[in-house]
Structure 1
Amino acid sequence: MTRDDAAAGTDGGDTSDAGADLTHVDESGDVQMVDVGAKPDTHRRAVARGTIHLTPSTVAAIREDGIDKGDVLATARVGAVQAVKHTWETVPMCHQIPITNVDTDFDVREASVVLTVTVETTGKTGCEMEALEGVTTGLNVVWDMVKAAEKNDEGQYPDTRIADVHVAEKRKRRVGGE
């Protein structure tokens, strides 16, 4: 399969049906936003999680509020919530949805910080992209806040990495139903 085949959503074989099963591509191959207008409103909840690996000394400084830029987790929490609310502006095919709740939870471990973001909405489309955006931005904020502590003598980040960002849970139930 070529890169063009992958971009077109084909396997390189017969392209007469190219895009027929793709929800974000019209008959002529143009990218489009999915019309969710006819879908029923549902309560939706998505939980995403990810980890930033840091040196133990940086984690200790986070615990002791010893990072020069300020409170790492409070700043990352604000960044995560802001990212959730603005996902539709950065992910091209996402709908702007009414966010009804955002919860952020930090699990500070010996050499890492795990961030879990839970997003809830009532609407016609899911909120897993919002939860993922919250996690990735929240972890990027942690990195930004601690980068001076994480750099080695050459200005590199040999121990710092963001990993295992994933949707941990996704639920929906119809409004007024079970």
Structure 2
Amino acid sequence: MTAGPKLTHLTASGEAHMVDVGAKAETERTAIAEGAVSMKRETLEMILAGDAKKGDVLGAARIAGIMAAKRTHELVPLCHPLLLTKVTVDIEPDSNLPGLRVTALARVTGKTGVEMEALTAASIACLTIYDMAKAVDRGMVISDIRLLRKTGGKSGDFQAD
């Protein structure tokens, strides 16, 4: 059996633990994640017109994503609490879905990466879109949540295909 990459959150005996990042250098780290919510064309038009009964779907989803990024360590076991320096959530209509594409950026100057914060922001923004429009379209589909890009840190840069 060849030795490959090891999971950093597991001990040699397989027990989960929080990684010690104390000796790592502080560097600027950025991660960008995305997700999509597919829906009926009429639902997309209602959201874009601002006619949803629950209010501003895009604004609420944007704020929810930012709030979620800041609380990732409370939601995902073994994540470090981070002093995020920037979080953005952009939501764009995509007529090809039809639906909305969510892009989340998280940035920190610290000892550990922000991939989970960006992924959490994108996920919660998508869930908020679903929640605010489900009364008119329960068939919406949340999909394609993934890391697009990350920079900084010991493991180097990553760019999705």
- Among 85, 103, 107, the alignment partner of 1:100 is 85
| SS of residue matched to 2:68 | helix
What amino acid is the match of 1:80? G
TM-score, with structure 2 as normaliser: 0.88
User: Is the 1:59–1:109 contact (alpha carbons within 8 Å) kept by the matching residues of 2?
Assistant: no
Of the structure 1 ranges 112-121 and 28-37, higher mean CA displacement relative to structure 2 is found in 28-37
The 5-angstrom pairing of residues 48-63 of structure 1 reads: 48-63=33-48
Check if 1:21 corresponds to 2:6: yes
Distance in 2, matches of 1:21 and 1:119, equals 25
User: What is the alpha-carbon distance in structure 1 between the residues aligned to residue 13 and residue 130 of structure 2?
Assistant: 42
Give the Cα separation in 2 of the matches to 1:161 and 1:69: 19
Q: Kindly indicate whether residue 122 of structure 2 is the aligned counterpart of residue 122 of structure 1.
A: no
Deviation at 1:100, TM superposition (A): 0.2
- In the alignment, which of 84, 107, 112 is matched to residue 99 of structure 2? 112
Deviations, residues 39-85 of structure 1 (Å, cap 9, x unaligned): 00000000001100010000000111010000000000111011000
What percentage of residue pairs aligned between the two structures are identical?
A: 37
CA displacement at 1:107 relative to structure 2:
0.9
Is 1:86 matched up with 2:71?
yes
Distance in 2 (alpha carbons) for counterparts of 1:21 and 1:45: 23
Greater than 3 Å deviation, 4+ residue runs: none
For 2:7 and 2:146, the matched residues in 1 are separated by 23
Deviations 1:22-44 (A, max 9, x none): 32112332211110000000000
The structure whose Rg is larger is 1
